[in-house]
């Protein structure tokens, strides 16, 4: 099953940390947050990724293009036209296949999702944001999605207060409000599982926001289900959250990470 990660936003709320890099490249410890997210999926054998690129997307490409040279011992023989030989296999060899999809500089989330439809074909796929981590059990999430037969499953978490609020009855999302003033219930934590028919609710116009008309329509039709996650979840939207996540990593309390938790 492919995993789509939204990596195109400009991260304006955390610009003091990410002024010269795209938000998914902000580091937690030695790795950018997007790699942490990919590690969460890879722990459960999900190793096919589609990264929806936009703002400074070339820096995400550059990181992965140079990943082996940055993490492994190598030899460069300039007598042989600069040929490269890796001398020791690093323990962190990535089993991943990654599509780096250019989805537009100014595209909103819905537009980015629609523009990668051609890479999904007619398959169930996963979708999340490039700025949030959690100790999500991906296997349980997929099993729950398959059990209800609806078009989409959203992982729901308890707030911090500034995110879209959901009303849920019997695990079915009955309404969706993006960023109300004082939420008192569950919020959208990303980590979606979607059926390909969800593309019928999205258009490629760069102003299409996934969290507005598409999700609202699915909720009204009873086609958006909630997978409650009661464990750790945190976005990296502010410099405070950046500091907290790095503190957790440095103190070996990064519970979301197969490498550190």
Q: Nearest-CA neighbor of 52 among 11, 123, 108, 121?
A: 108
Residues 128-140 have pLDDT tens digits of 999 999 999 999 9
Residue 91: per-residue pLDDT: 64
On whether the CB atoms of residues 38 and 133 are closer than 8 A, the answer is: no
Measure the CA–CA gap between 7 and 112, rounded to whole angstroms: 9
Low-confidence residues of the chain: pLDDT under 70: 11-13, 15-16, 18, 90-92, 160-169, 174-184, 260-261
Residue 245: per-residue pLDDT: 93
Residue 13: per-residue pLDDT: 66
How many other C-beta atoms lie within 10 A of the C-beta of residue 174?
14
Measure the CA–CA gap between 22 and 81, rounded to whole angstroms: 33
DSSP 8-state class, residue 244: H
Between the alpha carbon of residue 133 and those of residues 11, 79, 174, the distances in Å are 16, 45, 25
Residue 57: per-residue pLDDT: 95
Residues 173-219 have pLDDT tens digits of 766 666 554 455 789 999 999 999 999 999 999 999 999 999 999 99
Collapsed DSSP state (helix, strand, coil) of residue 141: helix
Measure the CA–CA gap between 73 and 103, rounded to whole angstroms: 34
Longest distance between any two alpha carbons in the chain, whole Å: 68
Residue 65: per-residue pLDDT: 94
Residue 164: per-residue pLDDT: 52
Delimit the domains of the chain by residue range: 2-250
Q: Nearest-CA neighbor of 27 among 233, 234, 245?
A: 245
The CATH class that applies to domain 2-250 reads: alpha beta
Residue 154: per-residue pLDDT: 98
């Amino acid at each position: 099953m492919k995993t789509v990660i939204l990596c195109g936003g400009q991260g304006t709320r955390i610009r003091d940390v990410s002024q010269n890099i795209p938000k998914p490249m902000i580091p937690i410890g030695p790795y950018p947050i997007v790699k942490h997210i990919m590690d969460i999926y890879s722990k459960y054998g999900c190793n096919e990724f589609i990264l929806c690129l936009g703002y400074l997307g070339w820096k995400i490409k550059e990181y992965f293009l140079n990943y082996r040279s940055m993490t492994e011992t190598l030899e460069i023989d300039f007598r042989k036209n600069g040929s490269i030989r890796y001398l020791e296999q690093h323990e962190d060899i990535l089993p991943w296949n990654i599509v780096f999809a250019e989805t537009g500089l100014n595209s909103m989330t819905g537009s980015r999702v629609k523009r990668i439809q051609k890479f999904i074909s007619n398959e169930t796929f996963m979708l999340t944001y490039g700025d949030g981590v959690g100790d999500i059990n991906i296997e349980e999430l997929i099993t729950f999605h398959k059990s209800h037969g609806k078009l989409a499953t959203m992982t729901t978490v308890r707030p911090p207060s500034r995110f879209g609020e959901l009303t849920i009855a019997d695990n079915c999302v009955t309404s969706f409000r993006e960023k109300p003033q004082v939420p008192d219930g569950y919020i959208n934590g990303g980590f979606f599982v979607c059926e390909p028919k969800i593309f019928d609710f999205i258009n490629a116009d760069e102003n299409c926001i996934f969290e507005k008309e598409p999700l609202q329509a699915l909720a009204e039709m009873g086609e958006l289900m909630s997978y409650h996650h009661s464990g750790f979840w945190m976005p990296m939207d502010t410099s405070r959250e950046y500091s907290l996540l790095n503190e957790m990593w440095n103190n070996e309390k990064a519970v979301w990470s197969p490498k550190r938790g």
